[in-house]
Structure 1
């Protein structure tokens, strides 16, 4: 396994997202937004400006977005030499815990522990709409590809589907037993994957929802012993996506069959501590971050018996 002399960050990493063919963006407790080449394990750019730790990151091809405990979201330009933020989106009253951007609609959506979801115009930085629901503590946001809809996970144990045209709830899925910590939407926009908090084998499952039928959950994935912090669709297989991957506070990452719900492979990341975020990169690789300062690269074997292994750390 390849290990660099120094990790990309100096403290716990909260979020990672894939950026192009060979790059990624990450943010965490050290307040930095960092671009790395994951093929080489090298830091490419560092952006500074947040006053408190970064909670979530997302990106467009030329722009990065970072949410923070300082109640703001900042927009950073990749094609410009400046290390400062190109724009600051300010208006939330508490930590910003969700951020998603749509390349189709050129809009940003943010969510916070203040129970509020907001949409923003990328060109002007103006807040377009604001909606607040009691006890809707946002934990994650994900845009439905090519559609004016956003999936949102909440501490009230539900998954909401927002219509951004009026910023109204288009659908509320049945409440789960545990807090919903994360959500991801499949590349074809049909399915939503959510993850649950848990402890001591109680909870910690991932749940697959059908965004078209919306009658209830399609399948559940059980196996993590603590909070499952992230779940993502893997972009490979005959249908474009036939597996999902999850990461949890028990220090393990797992690959699952979408069709059967069976766990295909488990990797324990030694020294990582609680895992916080995953990002698919390429057709057979995953980036993973945790309470440790490293970004870890894992390879997914596409052989008959699927295997998940950590191959690099930077």
Structure 2
């Protein structure tokens, strides 16, 4: 840049040169330099500098974002410490609607498939149902837990809602009436996450007691308990075909901090483990099959990193460092090439898969 200015100074009048430098300065301000680590399949780790166009959109929240979920191919729904639920168009960078009704931090969001309806759970012990095109007031309220609601899952046919809490209980609700129809309690079962298995009557649940449970919604009974892990299980996710699931572990300085792939079919055995994060893994997703020639998953962690893994081998294919974001709190698939990642300090990051040099992940926007 300095050499270019020297040549131009000799060839151009002063006013033209000043105008050119001003334009170049504006252009540079739209480029963001970031460092990430590339992990090749053979284990070699290379640090690269990435320069790219980056958009700083209007923020969705004024405080920590606890959770983000995809509503459709354009919109996401998020919640956080500011007690609000926000529907946001991540393609245009604009707030679509804000929903206020909770008295404390939002902990979980669950969206109804192919619908404009969604649910939010909060530290105020309440769950609320919202409608994008409806009024700003909740369409339905679900009150029954004695402590913070930390699990939220809606059935495939959208008729039932399952909630879990630090009060050791699960409640199964009739969505239309807002009344719970089943209640189950297990000692020391401090629920951390719930996920409904597609096309099945089963609900997957993780707990602070280091256990993963599979519940049968028909009577809300434990159908299967997976082998106890060494650390708190923070999160779970089920594949779209309902055959596999991931559980995530807490940890510190590389102890624990792993994601585990399980078989949900006949054997229900552990298939693979993904180790490489240095702090608690907060979230995980199965990535769309269109992204790569192999099945891949992604994880986000309190160590400010998002990792992409070969699902079958456990090899880390790529690591993106979102430095300055604080702990990463939630991860969601936005479309076939985009991910949404919520963070403690910098709102929500829009990440895009780049195939120009293999399977890479880059940050393209933040809001």
User: Normalising to structure 1: TM-score of the pair?
Assistant: 0.96
* Structure 2 counterpart of 1:30: 82
Structure 1 equivalent of residue 66 of structure 2: 14
Q: Which moved more, 1:130-139 or 1:105-114?
A: 105-114
What is the distance in 2 between the residues matched to 1:303 and 1:100?
37
The offset of 1:270, in angstroms, is 2.3
Shift of 1:292: 1.8
Residues 184-217 of structure 1 show CA distances to partners (whole Å, capped at 9, x for unaligned) of: 0000000010100000110100000000134421
RMSD over equivalenced CA pairs, Å: 1.5
Alpha-carbon distance in 2 for matches of 1:163, 1:239: 34
Deviation at 1:180, TM superposition (A): 0.3
Match of 2:330 among 263, 266, 277: 277
Aligned to 1:152: 205
Q: Distance in 1 between matches of 2:344 and 2:110?
A: 19
Look up the match of 2:364: 311
2:127 aligned residue (53, 59, 73): 73
- Give the Cα separation in 2 of the matches to 1:236 and 1:268: 24
Per-residue displacement from partner, 1:8-65 (whole Å, max 9, x unpaired)?
A: 1000001000011111000010000000011112111100000000001011112110
Aligned partner of 1:228 among 281, 284, 296: 281
User: Which residue does the alignment assign to 2:264?
Assistant: 211
Partner SS, residue 236 of structure 2:
strand
Any residues of structure 2 matched to 1:135-150 within 5 Å, and which? 135-150=188-203
- Uncovered stretches (5+) of structure 2, i.e. residues with no partner: 1-52
Does 7-16 or 102-111 show the bigger shift? 102-111
Q: What is the match of residue 176 of structure 2?
A: 123
What is the CA-CA distance between 1:131 and the residue it aligns to? 0.2
Question: Alignment partner of 1:265: what SS?
Answer: strand
Q: What whole-Å deviation, never above 9, does each CA across 1:213-244 have from its counterpart, x for those lacking one?
A: 34421100000000001111111238998110
Quote the offset at 1:66 in angstroms. Answer: 0.3
Q: Deviations over 1:109-151 (max 9, x none)?
A: 1000000011101111110100000000000000001111110
Q: Are 2:137 and 1:84 equivalent residues in the alignment?
A: yes
**Equivalents in 1 of 2:303, 2:291: separation in Å?**
31
Choose 1 or 2 for highest CA Rg: 2
Partner of residue 21, structure 2? none
Whether 1:288 aligns to 2:322 is no
Determine whether 1:253 maps to 2:306: yes
Residue 183 (1) aligns with residue 230 (2)? no
What TM-score, normalized to structure 2? 0.83
Q: 2:110 and 2:354 mapped to 1: Cα distance?
A: 27
Moved more, 204-213 or 292-301: 292-301
8 Å CA contact 1:67, 1:96 repeated in 2 = yes
Shift of 1:6: 3.6
| C-alpha distance in 2 between matches for 1:242 and 1:5 | 32
- Please state whether the residue corresponding to 1:237 is helix, strand or coil: helix
Q: Which moved more, 1:235-244 or 1:291-300?
A: 235-244
| Cα drift, residue 290 of structure 1 | 1.2
Segments of structure 1 that go 5 or more residues without pairing to the other structure are: none
Measure how far apart 1:4 and its partner are. 3.1
CA distance 1:127–1:241, change in 2 (3 Å) = farther
Which is helix-richer, 1 or 2? 2
